[in-house]
Amino acid sequence: MVYKSQNNFNMKKIAIFASGSGTNAQNIIEFFNKSGSARVQIILTNNFKAYVLERAYKFNISTRIFDRYEFYQTDNILSILQKNQIDLIILAGFLWLVPSNILNMFPGRIINVHPALLPKYGGKGMYGNRVHQEVIANHEMYSGITIHYVNESYDEGDIVFQEKCLITTDDTAETLASKVHELEYKFFPVVIEEILKKL
C-alpha cells in the first residue's frame, strides 16, 4: 500500500459548500486527513455566520463567503473552483440550487446528501427538521439518507447510495435527526471516496 502524503499534487481535491454548522464538512475533512486519498481544498458558504467557517479555520482550510448575486450572476465562484483544480464538489447542508455555469463545468462531479429516502420528502424547503417532522407525521416505518448527484432541481439527481434507519413510536424529529446524522457520518465520506476513485 502506497501512502499518499498531503503534499501529493495528484491527490484529488474536494470543495465543500455548506450553509450552517458544518458537522458533515468536519467529518469529511477528518476522514480524508486520515485516509490521505484526497483533501478538502476549500469550503464555500452563503452564510457569513455559518459555524462551518470556524471548523475550516481549525483545519487550516481556505474559505470563501458569497452572496446570491455573486453566485448566480457572476462566474466568480466557478473561477475559484477552477483555480483550485477541484475534482469533486460536495454539498453538505447547502440550501441553494447550484447555478448552471457550475453544473455545466462539473458534470457528474457534484453530490449532495439528503436526510430522507428520496424521492420522498425532497424538494424546495425540505431540509433539516422539516424533513423529519414530515416523515414522522406520515407514520413512516423508515427514514434514512440519500446521496445523489446534483442537477438543476432540488433533490432530483440520480441516486448514488441510500441507507435506512427504523423509526420507533417514541421517535421525535430530534431523535430521528440524530439517527440520520449517524448514517451521514458513517457513509457520506466512504461514498465520496468511492466516487473519487472513478474520476
Catalytic-labelled residue, pool 114, 139, 148, 181: 114
44 and 16 in contact (C-beta within 8 Å)? yes
What is the amino acid identity at position 18? A
176 and 167 in contact (C-beta within 8 Å)? yes
Question: Which residues does 127 contact at the CB level (< 8 Å), separation at least 6?
Answer: 93, 95, 115
Cα separation, 178 vs 16, whole angstroms: 22
Known catalytic membership, residue 114: yes
Helix, strand or coil for residue 166?
Answer: strand
- What positions carry a catalytic annotation? 114
